[in-house]
């Protein structure tokens, strides 16, 4: 059989001259390139063809496309950079399928797709890494000449498997007691990854008498350049995001949270392998896979993660860990903090459950998330494209897609094309279009009618209630509201107690039930407060075990 020759146009920012891509994107393209090179003849698009002179880009495109059977590509620096490749393909007059990896761009409003869809041909493929991203696509695109598939990414699990085998020795060297439960977050330590929610969780667990700590391993904007090693939060400068993390502890022992810094893959794997529970509370728009979750699973850790984006696929709820419900509100994406606390207490308090879920998590990685499995599936897709007949459908937006296209594109007079604009990053749900685009990433929309069977809580751990107002210190969730007396009373109670049932809120506020219901309706509509459906049952369970003290 003739060897397949593939072209690879890496995500532009993973090239040396564009260092701005996330660590996950760097990992994806470095591992994908290495795996493809083992299985086929691989040709790379030169990095300098992006954003350069048109003549140079056209020559580079012609040199590459003249040699390859198909081209795998992702986000260029500018949507128009895709044009040279598409026009050269048209000039060559040969079937050269394009496989486009969107990498989470659809929840941001399909900015690149709004440009490149003009160039897609029958036999091309848009290949998503999660079912959530495909669901966003289907909200926007009614039909396309390109085919669509979902193909999860893969990892090399070996560093995490080696670290898991050394777990006991690593914990002994760090003086971690056998009965101490260690949560770990690795990857980018920043606001959109919602690390502050994990810090607040540790504060709640510690106040409940549980022996636990949180390890953070990974780069963080503005963090001091320090050698690899554990440092308590109290030893780090209170500035930037570290100030936010310190405040999220709510005066709890700063020794609960340790930052290791930014280390090599082997160093990070060793830390992950020595922990008990992986955490990924991301609410990042465009969280299309979640490498950190899969890496923690490869180390044999059960994972508690948000029911958000790619994590909807990677975490099997109740089998490999727990997915915490997320809510799309009028102010952004929020996390059901009460459910988070419930699952953390349940998993943290049951070593046998952790072992069982950890083993299932490691097996799931071996079954679904190895990099060579990803590459084999991608090559199968390419072969199907080369041997298929292709379709003849025209591109057509849905009604939502057309509204988005028209609102967030700039038309140029006397030109058939448009310049697509990204959706605004702030207040991600401040209009109906953005909220509808983001909806498939979350668990549910905010219900503004208070349910007496729910537990109520602030939507963000960074919300603060003051005289007559509530404000957020979280730029990813910038809600603010002026409060009437009833709303102020409810907010003050939630700030002091964390979460309350409807009955407890009514009793503690000393207000008629109708006034409490009206206050909650206002706070829910603004996105200040969330309700956890069915939370009363869990709340009763929590009260029944409140005398048990620390985990056994």
pLDDT one-digit tens code per residue, 86-134: 889 988 988 999 999 999 999 998 988 988 888 899 999 999 999 999 9
Rounded average pLDDT over 453-457: 94
Query: Could you give the percent of the chain with pLDDT greater than 90?
Result: 63
DSSP 8-state code for residue 271:
H
Q: Provide CB contacts within 8 A for 398, sequence distance 6+.
A: 139, 140, 141, 142
pLDDT at 547: 46
Rounded average pLDDT over 59-75: 91
User: Using only C-alpha atoms, what is the Rg of the chain?
Assistant: 25
Residue 358 has pLDDT above 80, yes or no: yes
Query: Could you give the percent of the chain with pLDDT greater than 70?
Result: 89
* C-alpha closest to that of 107 among 66, 138, 86: 138
Residue 537 has pLDDT above 70, yes or no: no
What is the torsional sign of CA 502, 506, 507, 513?
negative
Q: Could you give the CA distance from residue 459 to residue 320 in angstroms, rounded to a whole number?
A: 26
Q: Could you give the CA distance from residue 434 to residue 416 in angstroms, rounded to a whole number?
A: 26
Contact 342, 537 (CB under 8 A): no
pLDDT at 83: 79
pLDDT at 543: 59
Q: Could you give the CA distance from residue 389 to residue 371 in angstroms, rounded to a whole number?
A: 29
Q: Which of 233-247, 255-269, 360-374 bottoms out in mean pLDDT, i.e. has the lowest?
A: 233-247
pLDDT at 17: 42
> pTM of the full predicted structure?
0.92
pLDDT band, very low/low/confident/very high, at 19 (cuts 50, 70, 90)? very low
Q: Provide CB contacts within 8 A for 283, sequence distance 6+.
A: 192, 194, 306, 308, 326, 332, 333, 334, 335, 476
Residue where the block lists tokens 């990042």: 284
Token digits of residue 536: 């009363």
pLDDT at 414: 47
Residue 2 has pLDDT above 90, yes or no: no
Q: Which of 422-431, 455-464, 481-490, 494-503 bottoms out in mean pLDDT, i.e. has the lowest?
A: 422-431
Rounded average pLDDT over 533-541: 69
Q: How far is CA 510 from CA 52, 111, 485, 518, in A?
A: 67, 51, 12, 14
Rounded average pLDDT over 504-515: 92
pLDDT at 20: 53
Residue 141 has pLDDT above 90, yes or no: yes
pLDDT band, very low/low/confident/very high, at 411 (cuts 50, 70, 90)? low
Contact 112, 344 (CB under 8 A): no
Residue 73 has pLDDT above 60, yes or no: yes
Rounded average pLDDT over 464-486: 91
Residue 548 has pLDDT above 50, yes or no: no
**No. of H helices and E strands in the chain?**
21, 26
Token digits of residue 354: 């952790």
pLDDT band, very low/low/confident/very high, at 424 (cuts 50, 70, 90)? low
- Compute CA 284 distance to the chain's CA centroid, rounded to the nearest angstrom: 5
For residue 231, the SS3 value is strand
Rounded average pLDDT over 464-490: 91
For residue range 174-225, what is the model confidence (pLDDT) as tens digits? 999 989 999 999 999 999 899 999 999 999 999 888 999 999 999 888 777 8
């Amino acid at each position: 059989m003739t060897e397949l020759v593939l072209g690879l146009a890496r995500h532009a920012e993973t090239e040396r001259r564009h260092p701005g891509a996330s660590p996950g994107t760097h990992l994806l393209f470095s591992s994908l390139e290495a795996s493809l090179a083992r299985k086929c003849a691989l040709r790379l698009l030169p990095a300098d063809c992006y954003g350069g002179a048109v003549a140079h880009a056209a020559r580079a495109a012609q040199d590459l496309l003249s040699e390859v059977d198909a081209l795998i590509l992702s986000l260029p620096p500018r949507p128009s950079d895709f044009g040279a490749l598409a026009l050269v393909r048209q000039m060559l007059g040969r079937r050269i399928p394009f496989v486009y990896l969107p990498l989470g761009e659809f929840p941001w409003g399909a900015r690149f797709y709004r440009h490149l869809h003009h160039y897609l041909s029958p036999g091309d493929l848009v290949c998503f890494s999660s079912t959530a991203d495909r669901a966003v696509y289907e909200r926007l695109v009614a039909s396309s000449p390109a085919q669509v598939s979902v193909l999860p990414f893969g990892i090399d699990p070996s560093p995490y498997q080696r670290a898991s085998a050394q777990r006991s020795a690593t914990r002994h060297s760090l003086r971690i007691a056998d009965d101490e439960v260690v949560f770990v977050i690795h990857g980018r330590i920043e606001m959109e990854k919602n690390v502050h929610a994990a810090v607040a969780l540790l504060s709640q667990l510690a106040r409940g008498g549980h022996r636990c700590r949180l390890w953070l391993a990974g780069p963080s904007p503005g963090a001091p350049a320090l050698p690899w090693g554990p440092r308590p939060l109290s030893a780090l400068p209170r500035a930037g995001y570290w100030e936010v993390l310190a405040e999220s502890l709510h005066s709890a022992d700063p020794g609960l949270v340790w930052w290791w810094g930014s280390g090599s893959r082997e160093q990070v794997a060793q830390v992950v392998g020595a922990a008990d529970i992986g955490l990924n509370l991301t609410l990042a728009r465009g969280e299309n896979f979640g490498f950190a979750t899969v890496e923690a699973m490869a180390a044999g850790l059960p994972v508690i993660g948000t029911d958000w984006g790619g994590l909807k696929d990677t975490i099997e709820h109740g089998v490999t860990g727990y997915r915490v419900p997320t809510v799309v509100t009028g102010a952004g994406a929020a996390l059901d903090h009460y459910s988070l606390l419930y699952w953390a207490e349940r998993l943290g308090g049951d070593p046998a459950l952790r072992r069982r879920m950890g083993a299932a998590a490691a097996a799931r990685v071996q079954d679904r998330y190895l990099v060579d499995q990803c590459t084999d599936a991608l090559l199968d897709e390419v072969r199907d494209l080369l041997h298929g007949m292709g379709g003849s459908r025209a591109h057509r937006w849905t009604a939502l897609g057309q509204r988005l296209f028209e609102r967030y594109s700039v038309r140029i007079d006397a030109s058939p094309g448009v310049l697509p604009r990204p959706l605004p990053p702030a207040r991600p749900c401040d209009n109906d279009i953005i909220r509808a685009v983001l909806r498939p990433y979350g668990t549910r929309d905010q219900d503004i009618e208070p349910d007496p069977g729910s537990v109520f809580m602030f939507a963000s751990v960074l919300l603060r209630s003051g005289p007559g107002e509530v404000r957020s210190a979280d730029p990813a969730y910038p809600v603010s509201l002026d409060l009437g007396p009833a709303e102020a009373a409810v907010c003050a109670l939630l700030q002091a107690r964390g979460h309350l049932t409807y009955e407890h809120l009514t009793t503690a506020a000393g207000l008629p039930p109708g006034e409490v219901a009206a206050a909650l309706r206002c706070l829910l509509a603004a996105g200040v407060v969330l309700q956890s459906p069915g939370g009363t049952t869990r709340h009763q369970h929590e009260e029944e075990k409140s005398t048990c003290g620390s985990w056994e």
